[in-house]
Chains A and B, each alone.
Chain A
């Protein structure tokens, strides 16, 4: 399905939500050593049966060291017209340092791929760019990028920005994840953090932009489950300026991460207290300071509580963050081996790429697995 078709469809009020079941897998080297994409492809391929061929994708961090301080955009296009439209707009705000079509390997498993380009960009002077009348002090470059990406994705027909961070990229499309990985020749990239997703949508709108991971700035989210709090979360982020244009769980979860971790500058160690807030009965047992903090966070951010089954892996330049819903309704296994941290829907994926981990555990519902990048290459 073309990007324009998808965009036109969602203009019917209210947007149709696209839930899906899935497989997730993430690997981080905490010392920042880079490894190629074969590991992640091999792992996610083990969980082939958790996908149905309607979507697969990867997020890779550390892959563009030569442009590590510049914005790296991956953009899907229906056709050259769409590309021209988008590039005209891009050039108004950015200096384009380099761009090219993403290298791919044609394969019978991949049907009708769109054009996919990557751009390395430098933002022009933010003061002159920002048109709205807001105090510039309160407005960062990050805010501009978020605003830009959300607007372009909602408005420019036939074009869709799937990746908008620095020194990272998202590769995704319609197909089984391993086929998508080979199509994008991920074995030729080296990164220190990889996440991946195999999709089993129950409401199948098979289009490339709708595959996961979903990214915004440096955040990328892969998610398995169908959250029952979607309507609440969507209205919550909407009131804070995030328009959910795809109506997927992953999209709204990404906005929640951006809102809390970036805009509210909240330490990621606190995120689970909001996204999978502890039960009141558990909060009541806490020591006084913790109790006050936990209950205040819960009261304050009730709209960001994600309810229903989920297992999420959030990728970021500085960390990998995995979280289960608070009563663990979806599977998640974690393992460590030396500097490597693995998180997966199923243990099989981990064992495939790391046959003898030092430790394997099943994280409790609501308790995050956090791996931080200590130093980067």
Chain B
């Protein structure tokens, strides 16, 4: 079509003094943005095809390529921003819903960046984690109302048992990402890093691939609205079960894995016919209210002999505090809350960028609500939705979370450059794709090392910050909002977060 209303998003700059025409870029680009001209022995680039994944730039042996954002080509307009105009052009042309991938990139307030953490001075000593024990072991599960302890001649003996728990060496788990939305090599990397580090990964609604079954003890399996891959053995082999109600990037929306991605391997893992669309309905059609959820929770507990924690994942929506309370009262052992900046493989852009609330506010509201109701001990809170650094984790735990899920951060550790084109299936980093030419780019042994590296680094930083605040066990930070201060926040924001403003003493 000669008329092209939408211009390229990126400029591909090739320094011809440096380009050796080795064609690495040509071979690496799944979008065919680079092409070798045999006559001239030069490589040419077509910027309109570039998605900004930086794969070519990362592999170019001479650093000849630079991918830049293309400057605004429309007349400045604070109301009609570039994105609006471009989206309208696109939609006028295709007549379709705009799809996107990863979490929202809109400039809504990131509350983590408006919260500061504390340190001990004089009246209370800081603790050096290199010389003193620093405990970040974390448990996920319900706590009983009371314990029966018997005193006998030799001492004390526990008569009652704690319910099923997950034990984590660090308060970080990998979020639900299904085999299908990401490649098997990405799943293998997550599973094996979780296994070697002593934490958990989550199957998403992708079923448990046979090659990952030996990581079952470090696997949280998901039961979502499509029920893909779910059977008794799937539930019983896992460490915990998570019922997925919603996802932060697309509250109220189901999922759709197109038939072309349902390969033989995925079809057997999800237990659906090869090549058929895998559609997860928006709601669970057997859960239209809270009492239905309770039934499913207990059905799963029955199927797993009450030996596994059963949790429920919901997206952070306006009414999240009462919803979470209902979930806890329905019998969930943990509640996973996914904030609106949470990632996705594919979501309608309008929903991703406009539906839900930030996880920081949701977490604060839920923790406070559960405490007010005296039921905080009945379930652990895991939060998700854009945890970007160890300091985000420290702040989340001080606000009241038991642990955090990381999804996007884990993918970035695997090479993701946040080009937000996951839904195209052409991920040049071998993550969000099933194309065998692309999936092999993610070597799970490298992926495992990089994910373990991230967990190690963050755990170390968490210990440093804990020690600085004079705390040597992470449970003493949980819900300890005295160690947080807000900056540039309004009264109402501070009051929802339950923290004081910077400058206010104890």
Q: How far is the CA of A13 from the CA of B481 in the complex (A)?
A: 13
Q: How far is the CA of A303 from the CA of B143 in the complex (A)?
A: 12
Question: How would residues 39 to 53 of chain B score, 1 for a CB under 8 Å from any chain A CB and 0 otherwise?
Answer: 000000000000000
Question: Chain A residue with minimal CB distance to B141?
Answer: A299
Flag if B479 contacts A279 (CB, 8 Å): no
Flag if A293 contacts B149 (CB, 8 Å): yes
Flag if B506 contacts A203 (CB, 8 Å): yes
Q: How far is the CA of A305 from the CA of B158 in the complex (A)?
A: 19
Interface size on A, residues (CB 8 A): 53
Flag if B473 contacts A299 (CB, 8 Å): no
Q: How far is the CB of A368 from chain B (nearest CB, A)?
A: 14
Q: Does B453 lie at the interface of the complex (its beta carbon under 8 Å from any beta carbon of A)?
A: no
Q: Does A247 lie at the interface of the complex (its beta carbon under 8 Å from any beta carbon of B)?
A: yes
Residues of B within 8 A of A13 (CB): 495
Flag if A270 contacts B149 (CB, 8 Å): yes
Within 8 A of B (CB), among A118-162: none
Flag if B157 contacts A289 (CB, 8 Å): yes
Q: Does B232 lie at the interface of the complex (its beta carbon under 8 Å from any beta carbon of A)?
A: no
Q: How far is the CA of A290 from the CA of B483 in the complex (A)?
A: 33
- Interface segment out of the listed A67-75, A206-214, A235-243: A235-243
Q: Does B308 lie at the interface of the complex (its beta carbon under 8 Å from any beta carbon of A)?
A: no
Question: Chain A residue with minimal CB distance to B160?
Answer: A296
Q: Does A302 lie at the interface of the complex (its beta carbon under 8 Å from any beta carbon of B)?
A: yes
Flag if A247 contacts B506 (CB, 8 Å): yes
Flag if A300 contacts B133 (CB, 8 Å): no
User: B interface, how many residues as a size bin?
Assistant: 35 or more
Question: Chain A residue with minimal CB distance to B132?
Answer: A327
Residues of B within 8 A of A262 (CB): none
Q: How far is the CB of A229 from chain B (nearest CB, A)?
A: 4
Question: Chain B residue with minimal CB distance to A18?
Answer: B506
Q: How far is the CB of B364 from chain A (nearest CB, A)?
A: 12
Q: How far is the CA of A302 from the CA of B479 in the complex (A)?
A: 11
- Interface segment out of the listed B81-89, B323-331, B368-376, B415-423: B368-376
- Interface segment out of the listed B119-127, B238-246, B268-276, B348-356: B119-127
Contacts A267-B149, A307-B470 given; indicate if A239 touches B482 (C-beta within 8 A): no
Q: How far is the CB of A204 from chain B (nearest CB, A)?
A: 12
Q: Does A309 lie at the interface of the complex (its beta carbon under 8 Å from any beta carbon of B)?
A: yes
Flag if A305 contacts B482 (CB, 8 Å): no
Out of B120, B133, B157, B479, name the residue touching A232 (CB < 8 Å): B479
Residues of A within 8 A of B469 (CB): 228
Residues of B within 8 A of A280 (CB): 135, 137
Q: How far is the CA of A297 from the CA of B475 in the complex (A)?
A: 13
Q: How far is the CA of A332 from the CA of B162 in the complex (A)?
A: 34
Flag if B124 contacts A308 (CB, 8 Å): yes
Flag if A308 contacts B470 (CB, 8 Å): yes
Within 8 A of B (CB), among A271-318: 277, 279-281, 289-290, 292-293, 296-300, 302-303, 305-309
Residues of B within 8 A of A230 (CB): 480, 482, 506
Flag if B481 contacts A231 (CB, 8 Å): yes
Question: Chain A residue with minimal CB distance to B137?
Answer: A280
Flag if B123 contacts A279 (CB, 8 Å): no
Q: How far is the CA of A270 from the CA of B149 in the complex (A)?
A: 10
Residues of A within 8 A of B137 (CB): 280
Flag if A305 contacts B157 (CB, 8 Å): no
Flag if B123 contacts A299 (CB, 8 Å): no
Q: How far is the CB of A309 from chain B (nearest CB, A)?
A: 6
Q: How far is the CA of A14 from the CA of B481 in the complex (A)?
A: 11
Pairs across A and B, CB under 8 Å, 27 listed: A13-B495, A16-B505, A16-B506, A225-B124, A227-B124, A228-B124, A228-B470, A230-B480, A230-B482, A231-B479, A232-B477, A241-B374, A247-B506, A264-B146, A277-B473, A280-B137, A289-B158, A296-B147, A299-B139, A299-B143, A302-B475, A302-B478, A303-B377, A307-B472, A308-B124, A309-B125, A327-B472
Which residues of A are interface residues toward B (Cβ below 8 A)? 13-14, 16-19, 21, 202-203, 225-232, 234-236, 238-241, 247, 264, 266-267, 269-270, 277, 279-281, 289-290, 292-293, 296-300, 302-303, 305-309, 326-327, 329
Other contacts beyond A239-B370, A309-B470: 4, CB < 8 A: A14-B500, A228-B470, A239-B372, A300-B377
Which residues of B are interface residues toward A (Cβ below 8 A)? 120, 122-125, 127, 132-133, 135, 137, 139, 143-144, 146-147, 149, 151, 155-158, 161-162, 165, 370-372, 374, 376-377, 398, 400, 469-473, 475-483, 495, 498, 500, 505-506
A-B pairs, 10 with minimum CB distance: A231-B482, A302-B475, A17-B506, A307-B476, A229-B476, A231-B480, A239-B371, A228-B470, A232-B480, A226-B124
